[in-house]
Amino acid sequence: MSDPHTDDDWEVPGLTIGISGPARRRTSDRLISLGLRLYGAHTHFIRPGRPIDVSLLDGIVLSGGTHIHPDLYGQQPQVEARYDRKRDRTDQMLLREAERLHLPVLGICRGAQLINVYRGGSLCQDVTPLRVHTRHRPLLLPLQRIRVVEPTRLGGIIRTRSIGANRIHSQAIQWLGRGLRVSALDDDLFVQAFENTHGQWLMGVQWHPEYLLYHGPHRRIFADFVHTAEQLKLARLVREDLPEPTD
């Protein structure tokens, strides 16, 4: 008799991905939603301080935005910047719950920096004077070269050793957090992407792939994220459907 719980017998119910952003939804948040919906996911926008049952989500994206307050990584402010303490707290809560529930997490720009800080890492508050081989100016077009480290999950997604990316950030990762490994660098050797060393699907990218959905390698980051969320949800549904063991 065939196993009644095979992948072919299951239709995975709709996926819901939470997108954590600022109080007011922006174009970048809408583009992230588009990138996820391209691969069949529904999205739910999470505003700072709003109550949310994370167990109802199938994955979380931490989007870009304001600087993370330096006291979260043991520093004093060194630059004039806008901070959002309420969002810092909300994103930290989301990361704790995602870790507990083993949900996939994608951090974009500020979101990547928040993951790194959450894992005990630190940030360089102003990379502008430290750049040598790259110019520091905002770029929405993919004019910054990124070198992908292999073998990494990102390398398998991008499928090339270097790629053009945009650059909007003025901060960068200084010390990498616990359980993370570098998966991409720019020409000044600033960390441009990292991922979990084991377990939970957890990835941070310093650029904004949501503005580059017309480019296959950047679009595939969203595809891999959604596919992972789908597989994890299917696994949960199969386990929940199995009968309880008897004595």
Catalytic annotation, residues: 109, 208, 210
- Least Cα distance to 15 among 57, 53, 52, 47 occurs for 57
d(C-alpha 185, C-alpha 134), whole Å: 12
Distance CA 60, CA 102 (A): 11
Q: What is the DSSP letter of 245?
A: P
> From CA 205, how far away is CA 120, in angstroms rounded?
17
Alpha helices in the chain (DSSP H): 27-37, 85-101, 110-118, 153-158, 216-241
Classify each residue of 191-218 as buried b or exposed e, where b means 16 or more C-beta atoms within 10 Å of its C-beta.
bbbbbbeeebbbbbbbbbbbbbbeeebb
As a residue count, the chain comes to 247
Amino acid, res. 84: D
Q: Give the separation between CA 180 and CA 97, rounded to whole angstroms.
A: 18
Residue 28 near residue 208 (C-beta atoms within 8 A): yes
Beta strands in 34-138 (DSSP E): 41-46, 59-62, 105-108, 122-124
